């Protein structure tokens, strides 16, 4: 015969249970104050098949197959019984950095978000800095991102409906492009991202068909960043809103890459003055010269024509990083940790 729990004791336990459940819910997600913990997780290197399309017109056709270069950081506490949300990170023109992508990955993992860091350059032998940018395109980054999204969707500890794409600078442009319905239909018609984030991503391309998947978008940039044309970015945000997405803009008193570099310096060239048009057929053209971006030589010629030789300042600012973390938390938490549960 089992002993029954006294009513007073039962009431106390019930109160504690309710309190514990409430504490768990309120603690879920990214810390809203932007001061994030870091997890000592062991990353893994998954086998993910991708491709190297030069533009959207090459997807699924002549694009050479390639193995994506991805580092996966499991979320703390995730399991098949308790699947976690995830984010995919796309680096900037300087490549993957432990100061930025590596740090974010461990912070996300510590707060219950699995993270896949894609090294677009690492999967493709592109040579030096300039050569990489001529040979490695946003369409290739998108190929890696959608392939990684597929891989995450097959993992039992991941909730495939709660995966966001976050890009930095060069990668930020790709994150925005992945919000367009045309891009999703080109790569993976049945597998879109739940949200898109662009850290200081230049606003240089507009789509003739601005229809989006409807996923929300966050754009962050610094007012001291010469690579960011605020008027062009506001215009792009308007396109995305008209296309069906809610767009949030967060601006800071900061230079480029406030969250990743350990030194301050001036990059010699920027592309804020470039203006490209993505056609309904997937072709990319320069709005001024009408030249088509079809191969590395044409890409180099177009970028040489529109590049600004004044350069732009790069410099870290931990205070601004905390502020942008808070903005990111306010944006992502309702998507990755919905109040009503997944």
Using H for helix, E for strand and C for coil, what is the string for the chain?
CCCCCCHHHHHHHHHHHHHHHHHHHHHCCCCCCCCCCCCCCCCECCCCEEEECCCHHHCCCCCEEEECCEEEECCCCCCCCCCEEEEEEECECCECCHHHHHHHHHHHHHCCCEEEEECCCCCCCCCCHHHHHHHCCHHHHHHHHHHHHHHHHCCCCEEEEEEEEEEECHHHHHHHHCCEHHHHHHHCCCCCCCEEEEECCCCCEEECCCCECCCCEEEEEECCCCCCCHHHHHHHHHHHHHHCCCEEEEEECCCECCCCCCCCEEECCECCCCCEEECCCCCEEECCCCCECCCHHHHHHHHHHHCECCCEEECCCHHHHHHHHHHHHHHHHHHHCCCCCC
Taking CA atoms, 153 is separated from 68, 81, 139, 163, in Å, by 16, 15, 21, 9
Divide the 342 residues of the chain into consecutive groups of 10 and give the mean pLDDT of each group.
36 34 52 97 97 94 89 96 98 94 98 98 82 90 98 98 98 98 96 98 98 98 97 98 98 96 85 96 96 95 92 94 98 95 75
Cross-strand partners of 220: 199, 250
**pLDDT attached to residue 126:** 67
**pLDDT attached to residue 130:** 76
Residue ranges and CATH numbers for the domains of the chain are: 34-262+316-335 (3.40.50.1820)
Spatial contact of 271 and 204, defined as CB atoms under 8 Å apart: yes
Angstrom distance (rounded) from CA 176 to CA 27 = 29
**pLDDT attached to residue 50:** 97
User: Pairing state of beta strands 217-222 and 70-73?
Assistant: unpaired
**pLDDT attached to residue 79:** 96
The edge-to-edge listing of strands for the beta sheet with 70-73 is 70-73, 114-118, 84-90, 158-168, 195-199, 217-222, 247-252
Residue reference for tokens 């790709």: 174
**pLDDT attached to residue 324:** 98
């Amino acid at each position: 015969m089992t002993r029954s729990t006294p009513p007073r004791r039962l009431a106390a336990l019930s109160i504690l249970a309710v309190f514990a459940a409430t504490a768990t819910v309120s603690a879920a997600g990214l810390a809203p104050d932007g001061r994030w913990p870091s997890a000592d997780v062991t990353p893994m290197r998954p086998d993910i098949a991708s491709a190297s399309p030069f533009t959207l017109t090459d997807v699924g056709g002549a694009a050479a197959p390639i193995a994506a270069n991805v580092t996966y950081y499991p979320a703390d506490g995730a399991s098949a019984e308790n699947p976690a949300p995830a984010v995919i990170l796309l680096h900037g023109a300087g490549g993957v950095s432990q100061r930025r992508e590596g740090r974010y990955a461990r912070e996300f993992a510590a707060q219950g978000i699995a993270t896949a860091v894609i090294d677009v350059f690492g999967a493709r032998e592109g040579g030096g800095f300039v050569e990489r940018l001529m040979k490695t395109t946003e369409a290739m980054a998108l190929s890696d991102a959608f392939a990684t999204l597929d891989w995450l969707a097959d993992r039992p500890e991941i909730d495939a409906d709660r995966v966001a794409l976050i890009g930095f600078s060069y990668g930020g442009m790709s994150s925005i492009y992945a919000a367009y319905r045309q891009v999703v239909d080109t790569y993976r018609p049945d597998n879109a991202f739940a949200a898109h984030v662009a850290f200081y991503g230049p606003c240089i391309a507009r789509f003739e068909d601005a229809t989006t998947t409807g996923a929300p978008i966050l754009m962050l940039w610094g007012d001291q960043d010469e690579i960011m044309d605020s008027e062009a970015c506001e215009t792009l945000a308007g396109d995305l809103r008209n296309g069906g997405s809610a767009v949030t803009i967060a601006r800071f008193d900061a230079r480029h890459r406030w969250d990743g570099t350990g030194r301050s310096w001036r990059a010699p060239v920027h592309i804020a003055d470039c203006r490209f048009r993505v056609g309904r057929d997937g072709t990319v053209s320069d709005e001024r010269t009408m030249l088509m971006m079809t191969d590395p030589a044409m890409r180099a010629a177009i970028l040489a024509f529109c590049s600004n030789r004044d350069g732009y300042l790069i410099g870290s600012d931990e205070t601004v990083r905390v502020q942008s973390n808070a903005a990111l938390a306010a944006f992502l938490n309702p998507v990755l940790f919905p109040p009503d549960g997944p």
